[in-house]
Structure 1
Amino acid sequence: MAYMDKLSIRARFALLGLMAVLLVAAPTCLYVDEAMQVTMTAHREASGTEPVQSVLDAVRLTQQHRGLSALVLGGDGTAGSQRRAKQVEAEAAYQAMVELVTRRAGEGKALTAIRQAVADWRKTSADVAAGRLTRPQSFAAHSALIKQLLTCIDLLADEFALSLDPELDSYQLIQAVMVASPRLTEDLARARGLGAGILAAGKATPEERLNLALQVRSSQDRLALMLSSFDKASLASPELGERIGGAMREAMGLADQAIALADQQVLKPTELSYDGKTYFTLYTRAIDALFKVNATSMQTLDDMLTERAHRHQRRLATTLGLMACLASIGIWMGMAGARSITRQLGGEPAQVVAIAQAVSQGDLSSDIAVQPGAESSIVAAMAAMQESLLQVVSAVRKSSDNIATGSSQIAAGNADLSHRTELQAGSLQQTAASMDQLADTVRNNSNAAREANQLATAASEIATRGGEAVDQVVGTIAEITEASRKIADIIGVIDGIAFQTNILALNAAVEAARAGEQGRGFAVVAGEVRSLAQRSASAAKEIKALIMDSVEKVETGSRQAGDAGRTMGEVVAQVQRVSRLIADISGATEQQSSDIGNVSGAVGQLDQVTQQNSALVEQAAAAAASLKQQAEQLVEAVRAFRLRPGM
């Protein structure tokens, strides 16, 4: 069965056709063989009629030779020439018989028997011609030869299948012309020979009368048998009766007359006076009529057998032609059926099964080729189905991927949102706590602002007083600057004195040097004075530098003090502004404290809502996780389908 599944529809139909041919072949072969056998048998039977007829001709001539020999041996010298002529005619008939049987039948029992009959004929005819046989011996020898020829007819009938003819009319006709008629003519011929011999001798022994009576009786029986066979053949084939009925009735009438002649002119009379030649002639006429009917019947039989062979050939040809037509119609119908089924399927069953299996296994990637003209076939429908299913599965796959991605994102977003909501809830709780702390802080700030306002007012007053003190410091510094300038002038005077002293000391040293040893002590003093004067000048210079530096710093301090005074004025102004701002801040703080109380209540409510949102977000996260799992299952289910590249 697995092998059958691999075959195409045409191959399956071809196999079914082969099986049908094989099923029909056996009875057809039997029928053809039977028809051929029947045809060959009919042809063989038809080919046997002529050899049988040649034997019948030999029988007829031998019978005639026997009768003429009986006349001659009975003392009728006038029949000698007729006998000799008949012997020559019979010799030719025997020779033709041997040649014909040899040609038609070939070697066999029939040919062997015929050759023996020819040898016996030649011996008998030679003995009769030489006068070595008496009349009874000649009669017996001829009768034995004729019996041998009748046996040859039976052998030929067997050889050519005439003994078992399958059809009633021809079988009965064969019985009439090959069995009943030869034996009837033999009985009549024996009666003719016995009667002619008795009449030629003019007397008859009791034995001869008994033999003639037996031949007459046998002739009557053979005549009745022949008539019965002919009647049966005529009933089976009315056309046969019409063809040879008249000649058969005439021959039967002559046979009846011959039998009556033997009874009236030979058996009943005590004195024999009837002419033997006339007796012989009348019997010969009856026998010749029978042989004539037999020849006509043999020709009719040959025509019947030939027609039968042709009829069977025509029937066989018609049957084979009809079977060939039916086979051609069957082949055409099989091919048309295969083509119709293939067209309806759109392909071979294996291809349809493969497509269905591929689709059932989720393989939508293959291209289904639809044959031209098969747009309404199953394959075309399956191709359309696959294309629709391909589009649907492709869309579902994309949608499922998008759903899976979206659900993953939603799940991740919900998880993040849940985490953020939890953080927000925690932050809101912290915010609520912070707002409470802020409210306390704002209240504290409000109190501090009030205190700061008071302190700012006090600081404003202190700054005012500080400004006044700075002004006094500026005045004092100005006085110090003036005093510093005076000290600088004094230092300048001292520096001048030191310079003058240094000059005087130098002059004293010069004078001491001039004085020599007396002025040595004065030089020492002058040197010390010069040294002190230089040291005083150096100190005066350093003091002057210090004083100048101090004066510069005092001037700088004076400027800075002025700047500080101006700054203190600005500070006072700013402190006053700060005092006003702190007053504003104190009022705003009080208002803020009130607002923060409201915000704290709102934050508390927001914290409750956030807690509820957190629970809802957790539920949404669980739903998103379930959706993600179902989307993944959908993706896995859709992934079972194999689509074309790029879809």
Structure 2
Amino acid sequence: MLHWLTQLRLAQKFTLLGLLTLAMVAFPSALYLKQTITDVRQAHRQAEGVPVLMALNMVIQHTQVHRGLSAGVLSGNEGMQQRRVTAKEAVNQALGNAAAILVQNNAPVQEQQRLQKWQTTWQALEQAVAANKVEVADSFARHTDLIAELMMINEELLVAYRLQSNEDPANVALLQAALVQAPQLTEGVGQMQAMGTGFLTQAFLSVDDRGAFRALISQTTTFQKQVGRFIQRAMTLNPAYQQELGGLVKTATELLNESNHLARTEVLEIDLLQYPASDYFNKLTQTIDAINAVRISGADRLAQVLDANADKQRNVLIRCAANPAVQGRVKSADGKAVLVDWIGFNAASAAVRCTGE
């Protein structure tokens, strides 16, 4: 039945053998290339995401400051008026920067549109505060709603940029601490700042307000514990994170404890409110800045890691696609060693052998 094989010339036999070999390796080679391309795209997408989230968090940060200053101004503290104007300008600048980065880094159009709508709502609120045409409680509520909307955009962007699919547990913990939990913590402290500033300016705290303020302090303490858990996990799993973030974390923790004590002793648990509203505002601002220092440093470090991973995956693809004879060890997306053996790669054929170690 295979008598015809004996009739083939030697060159034809080698050609047939080559075709059979090509058929055997073509499918796994194609699968490997497809996975490599997928890894490159995901790594690049993740690297795009961190600057977007950092820019959005700057809008959150400055909006929180504006909320606190607005509470003071609307409660009658004229000394905070110029600082409120400066905070307004900071929000506008951060907003413009965030909008530009969302476009530059290919954020989903829906989230870009949500940010544009947010800007319209923000401008209306700021004008109402500037004209003194809004009550303190209403201003607080509207600022808080704006910040909540930014946090929802932040959540959607985490998914859009696939940032939570990172398989390194230290990086996952750092991402949770810097880009998810820390904004919630600063929001809790920011609300304590705004409410306490208003109470101290008015030198009055109703029974209902006292209950709400107590609940807020308790909630913020819970946020502090959550952030602490994730950041400690990241630093334990990766000693480099401990070296880079340990000092900042210690400072932020000390200031958080001091701010919590101040809010309790000078606002919540005292009948006669006498503590200077500006001093209270400044102390909690210092605390928020310390938390943001941890957040920004952590996000910067995460961005470096993701950029390096994107470059690494890109180099793997270039090596596979362009090098005629490559044999070496590279790292796959999941961190396992992979032996890549390209044999006689050309326009017609390629063979790939991958073994996980």
TM-score interval w.r.t. the shorter chain? 0.7 to 0.9
Match of 1:134 in 2: 135
Normalized per residue, the structure richer in helix is 1
- Structure 2 unaligned blocks of 5 or more: 329-339, 346-357
Q: 1:11 to 1:267 in 2, by over 3 A?
A: farther
Match of 2:327 among 322, 334, 343: 322
The percentage of aligned residue pairs carrying the same residue is 23
SS in 2 for 1:274: coil
Inter-CA distance 68–315: structure 2 relative to 1 (3 Å threshold):
same
Alpha-carbon spacing, 1:326–1:141, altered in 2? closer, same or farther (3 Å): closer
Asked if structure 2 preserves the Cα contact closer than 8 Å seen for 1:105 and 1:159, the reply is: no
CA distance in 2, matches of 1:232, 1:16: 55
Answer yes or no: is the 8 Å Cα contact 1:105–1:111 preserved in 2. Answer: no
How far apart are residue 11 of structure 1 and its match?
4.0
* 8 Å Cα contact 1:109-1:155 kept in structure 2: no
Distance 1:272 1:47, change over 3 A: same
Deviations 1:72-109 (A, max 9, x none): 01110110011011111211111221122122225522
Is residue 177–residue 298 contact of structure 1 (8 Å, CA) maintained in 2? yes
* CA spacing shift, 1:272–1:171, aligned 2, 3 Å: same
Corresponding position: 1:115 with 2:116? yes
- Aligned partner of 1:226 in structure 2 is 227
State the one-letter code of the partner of 1:243: E
Residues 163 and 27 (structure 1), Cα distance of their counterparts in 2 relative to 1, 3 Å cut: same
What is the alpha-carbon root mean square deviation over aligned residues?
A: 2.2
Q: Is the 8 A contact 2:320 2:342 kept in 1?
A: no
- In the other structure, the counterpart of 1:51 is 52
Deviation at 1:260, TM superposition (A): 2.1
Residue deviations 1:298-338 (CA, integer Å, cap 9, x gap): 11111010111123334555667328865149xxxxxxxxx
1:603-623 alpha-carbon deviations (Å, 9 max, x no partner):
xxxxxxxxxxxxxxxxxxxxx
Are residue 64 (structure 1) and residue 61 (structure 2) matched? no
> Would the aligned equivalents of 2:166 and 2:172 in 1 still touch at CA under 8 Å?
yes
Higher relative contact order (CA 8 A, sep 6+): 2
Runs of 4+ in structure 1 off by over 3 angstroms are: 1-25, 313-320, 323-326
Matching of residues 71-86 of structure 1 within 5 Å: 71-86=72-87
Q: Distance in 1 between matches of 2:12 and 2:223?
A: 68
- Please show how residues 429-578 of structure 1 align to structure 2 within 5 Å: none
Q: Do the aligned partners of residues 21 and 127 (structure 1) sit closer, same or farther apart at CA in structure 2, a change above 3 Å counting?
A: farther
- The alpha-carbon distance between structure 1 residues 264 and 108, as it changes in their structure 2 partners (threshold 3 A), is same
- Find the counterpart in structure 1 of residue 152 from structure 2: 151
Using a 3 Å threshold, how does the CA distance of structure 1 residues 108 and 75 change in structure 2: closer, same or farther? same
Distance (Å, rounded) in 2 between the aligned partners of 1:224 and 1:106: 31
**Structure 2: distance between partners of 1:16 and 1:263:** 82
| CA distance 1:270–1:170, shift in 2 (3 Å) | same
Q: So what's the TM-score if we normalise by structure 2?
A: 0.85
CA pair 201-312 structure 1, distance change in 2 beyond 3 A: same
* Distance in 1 of aligned mates of 2:23 and 2:223: 53
Quick one: which amino acid aligns to residue 128 of structure 1? V
CA deviation profile, 1:108-159 (whole Å, cap 9, x unmatched): 2211221121111111111111112111000000000000011111122122
Q: Confirm or deny that 1:87 pairs with 2:83.
A: no
Partner of 2:28: 27
Aligned twin of 1:256 = 257
Is the contact made by 1:49 and 1:298 (CA closer than 8 Å) also made in structure 2?
Answer: yes
Distance, in Å, in 2 between the alignment partners of 1:5 and 1:236 is: 64
Look up the SS of the partner of 1:75 in the other structure. Answer: coil
Deviations 1:179-236 (A, max 9, x none): 1000000011011111111111111112222222222112111111111111222233
- Range with greater deviation from structure 2 (109-118 or 77-86): 109-118
Distance 1:2 1:128 in 2: 95
Amino acid in the other structure paired with 1:327:
I
For residue 322 of structure 1, what is the amino acid of its counterpart?
Answer: Q
Partner of 1:247: 248
TM normalised by structure 1 equals 0.48
Instruction: Specify the alignment match of 1:187 in structure 2.
Output: 188
Q: Aligned-pair distance for 1:32?
A: 2.8
| 3-state secondary structure, aligned to 1:203 | coil
Report deviation, 1:20: 3.5
- What are the within-5 Å matches in structure 2 for residues 6-45 of structure 1? 6-45=7-46
Q: Which amino acid aligns with 2:150?
A: L
Q: How does 1:600-615 map to 2 (within 5 A)?
A: none
Aligned residues: 329
Q: Corresponding residue for 1:596?
A: none
**Cα distance, 1:248 vs. partner?**
1.9
CA radius of gyration, larger in: 1
Q: Aligned pair in 2 of structure 1 residues 4, 265: CA closer, same or farther (>3 Å)?
A: farther
Q: Is the 8 A contact 2:62 2:90 kept in 1?
A: yes
The aligned counterpart of 1:645 is none
Letter in 1 for 2:159: D
Does the aligned pair in 1 maintain the 2:108–2:160 contact within 8 Å? no
